[in-house]
Amino acid sequence: MSATLLDQVIEPVSECLTQASARKIVDLRATPDMQARVDYLATQANQGGLTDEERSEYDRYLAAFHLVTLLQIEARKLLDESAA
């Protein structure tokens, strides 16, 4: 299986994780204001009511959340391996 571009970015970052940094990444959460904004944009997107600017903003949030999720997966792997 060939590695995707995102895998090629995530792997070197995950190799730099320490226990402390992995825990911080696992604990990352959106602020309440950010989550409210994303929820609003998601509702508007589902109703077909996003402006072009809002669509761009929503896409950026989704990309950032995807990246954080992938980092959290790698961080959890590190923490699980060290606990075993």
Q: Residue 21's pLDDT is what?
A: 96
Q: Quote the number of domains for the chain.
A: 1
Q: Residue 1's pLDDT is what?
A: 43
User: pLDDT tens across 9-42, in order?
Assistant: 888 988 899 999 999 999 999 999 999 999 999 9
User: Residue 60 in contact with residue 14, Cβ under 8 Å?
Assistant: no
Gyration radius of the chain's alpha carbons: 16
Q: Which structural domain range is residue 51 located in?
A: 5-83
Which CA distances in Å does 60 have to 8, 15, 76?
20, 25, 24
* pTM score, whole prediction: 0.83
Instruction: Output 57 or 82, whichever has higher pLDDT.
Output: 57
The alpha helices in the chain, defined as continuous H runs, are: 5-15, 19-26, 32-46, 52-83
User: pLDDT tens across 52-73, in order?
Assistant: 999 999 999 999 999 999 999 9
